[in-house]
Amino acid sequence: MSKENNGFANWMERRKANIPAGLLTAHPVLVARGEGARVWDADGREYIDFVGGIGVLNVGHNHPRVVAAAAAQLATLSHTSFQVAAYGTYIELAERLNKEVGGAEGTHKTIFLTTGAEATENAIKIARAHTNRPGVIAFRGGFHGRTLLGMSLTGMSQPYKQNFGPFAPEVYHSAFPDAYRGITTQRALDALAELFASAITPDRVAAILIEPVQGDGGFLRAPDDFMVALRRIADEHGIVLIADEIQTGFGRTGKMFGFQHSGIVPDLVTVAKSLAGGLPLSGVVGKAAIMDAPLPGGLGGTYGGNPVACAAALAVLDLFEEEHLLERAVALGTQVEQGFAALQEKHGGVVGEARGLGPMRALEFVKDATSKTPDAAMAQRVLDRLRHHGVLAIKCGMHRNVVRCLVPLVAEPALVDKALKAFDVAIQEAAAAA
């Protein structure tokens, strides 16, 4: 960053002049560097990072092991495309993920891509190739990417769908459980049965796609009995069950993958975000018989499974084993859960619900506890006050009234306590400013 161009106002002017308005930046901050669970802006101000690159940095910013692995790989081979010639990091990473998802039986296979949306699209391709069926069922409130099919699968209208249609056909949405708003597991299953009766018969459905905990939809957890019921329904009708673990994966819920809390095994699992510690890498991991359904040449992507990203991902998996990150995730989850529960108790008039799974936690803001009317303006004021007090967070939910926590799993307890105190003050200030 040159000295004559490092002023914040100048950078923001250049951003406005050169970057389209549709690419929203949540905070007026110009980040210069990051380490662990903290970032610093161009003026040297420190922030506690409760965003983690939107769930990308479960091992933290610039972990030395990830940096070293990427640098070593970059020095020997930066790219060739696996479709042209194979390389070891891709194969080794596939082996390890197959064991993480499917166990040691050797029943799974993996393909690597670049983005979460690519993983989603390829999972649908694989499911359709396997079943020779067109239909896909997703859920209201789900988020599955910004490509045409990703938007079609996403179960919320704004800001993602806007006037971007028409959307991909043969995509159907059903209700997702939300106990806070009265949508029980049984009500959600009844809605799915009604969809089968009114819109598409089960024998025309290739896949059911679900996030074990909805990410952008508001950190709503799919109850265990709902996941078990979906597994049973999929088995009964020959439907491929896909778990979208793009945000929930790699320790975000306290287990390596969110589906593991319910005891079921999906047919396909999509991964991305924290897989490679900040480098762009995604994948589809699934049962071998299903993964092998597309004919040779049907799957691929120029940058998919880039050698440098694969090397970084191998380092991430090493860190989970050697630094006991799942145990740290459980402890972090307990700390944030207790902190958010205290905030709900103290600020019950505006905090409608504190919820989540493990360290994947959120606060839903409402106008009052009785009506439960979503209060997006309150959520935004909380975010702005949090930033003022040195904490970065972002919102989610269909009504954008939920503040979510995606703090890196390596965050020190004292740092998290400091952030929780900032939440308390920010909520007080935001409520007073209403």
C-alpha distance from residue 288 to each of 122, 123, 124, 126, 284 (Å)? 15, 13, 15, 11, 11
Looking at the predicted structure, is the pLDDT value of residue 5 above 60? no
Band of pLDDT at residue 290, cut at 50, 70 and 90: very high
C-alpha distance from residue 131 to each of 3, 102, 193, 208 (Å)? 59, 21, 20, 12
Of the candidate ranges 16-25, 195-204, 413-422, the one whose mean pLDDT is the lowest: 16-25
Both tokens of residue 13?
Answer: 């002017």
Please state whether the peptide bond connecting residue 20 to the residue before it is cis, i.e. omega within 30 degrees of 0. no
Report d(CA 214, CA 153) in Å as an integer. 13
Q: What is the mean pLDDT of the chain?
A: 96
Claim to verify: residue 285 and residue 414 sit in the same structural domain: no
Of the candidate ranges 5-9, 174-178, 340-344, 353-357, the one whose mean pLDDT is the lowest: 5-9
Q: How many residues can be counted in the chain?
A: 434
Claim to verify: residue 93 and residue 146 sit in the same structural domain: yes
| Pairing status of strand 351-357 against strand 360-365 | antiparallel
What pLDDT, on a 0 to 100 scale, did the predictor assign at position 121?
98
Band of pLDDT at residue 158, cut at 50, 70 and 90: confident
Looking at the predicted structure, is the pLDDT value of residue 2 above 60? no
Exposure string of 140-175, with b = 16+ CB inside 10 Å and e = fewer, is bbbbbbebebbbbbbbbeeebeeeeeeebebbbbbb
What pLDDT, on a 0 to 100 scale, did the predictor assign at position 402?
98
Helix (H, G, I), strand (E, B) or coil at 48: strand
Claim to verify: residue 314 and residue 388 sit in the same structural domain: no
Residue 218 CB contacts under 8 Å (≥ 6 apart), including other chains:
141, 362, 364, 396, 397, 398, 402, 404
Segment 28-32 mean pLDDT: 94
Band of pLDDT at residue 1, cut at 50, 70 and 90: very low
Which residues of 44-201 form beta strands (DSSP E)?
46-49, 108-113, 135-139, 171-174
Band of pLDDT at residue 204, cut at 50, 70 and 90: very high
C-alpha distance from residue 16 to each of 9, 12, 20, 24, 25 (Å)? 11, 6, 7, 11, 11
Report d(CA 4, CA 323) in Å as an integer. 42
pLDDT, tens digit (0-9, with 9 covering 90-100), for 172-201: 999 999 999 999 999 999 999 999 999 999
Band of pLDDT at residue 340, cut at 50, 70 and 90: very high
What pLDDT, on a 0 to 100 scale, did the predictor assign at position 236?
98
Helix (H, G, I), strand (E, B) or coil at 398: coil
Structural domain that includes position 181: 67-322
Looking at the predicted structure, is the pLDDT value of residue 120 above 70? yes
- Using CB atoms within 10 A of its CB, is residue 9 exposed (0-12), middle (13-18) or buried (19+)? exposed
Looking at the predicted structure, is the pLDDT value of residue 106 above 80? no
Domain finish residue from 263, 290, 322: 322
Segment 356-380 mean pLDDT: 97
Claim to verify: residue 103 and residue 165 sit in the same structural domain: yes
Band of pLDDT at residue 33, cut at 50, 70 and 90: very high
Claim to verify: residue 184 and residue 306 sit in the same structural domain: yes
Claim to verify: residue 200 and residue 225 sit in the same structural domain: yes
pTM of the entire structure? 0.95
Helix (H, G, I), strand (E, B) or coil at 367: coil
The domain that holds 38 is classified in CATH as 3.90.1150.10
Claim to verify: residue 297 and residue 328 sit in the same structural domain: no
Report d(CA 249, CA 255) in Å as an integer. 8
Both tokens of residue 239?
Answer: 């439907």
pLDDT, tens digit (0-9, with 9 covering 90-100), for 41-82: 999 999 999 999 999 999 999 999 999 999 999 999 999 999
Both tokens of residue 345?
Answer: 């108790």
Band of pLDDT at residue 116, cut at 50, 70 and 90: very high
Band of pLDDT at residue 3, cut at 50, 70 and 90: very low
Both tokens of residue 215?
Answer: 């990410």
Sheet holding 351-357, edge to edge: 351-357, 360-365, 402-405, 394-396
Q: Are 32 and 42 in contact (CB under 8 A)?
A: yes
The domain that holds 89 is classified in CATH as 3.40.640.10
Report d(CA 167, CA 292) in Å as an integer. 28
Claim to verify: residue 221 and residue 279 sit in the same structural domain: yes
Write the DSSP symbol of residue 81: -
C-alpha distance from residue 207 to each of 129, 266, 400 (Å)? 11, 11, 28
Percent of the chain at pLDDT exceeding 90: 93
Domain finish residue from 322, 352, 387: 322
Band of pLDDT at residue 4, cut at 50, 70 and 90: very low
Helix (H, G, I), strand (E, B) or coil at 346: helix
Looking at the predicted structure, is the pLDDT value of residue 371 above 70? yes
Residue 102 CA, chain-centre distance (Å), reads: 21
Domain finish residue from 295, 322, 349: 322
Claim to verify: residue 316 and residue 328 sit in the same structural domain: no
What pLDDT, on a 0 to 100 scale, did the predictor assign at position 6?
57
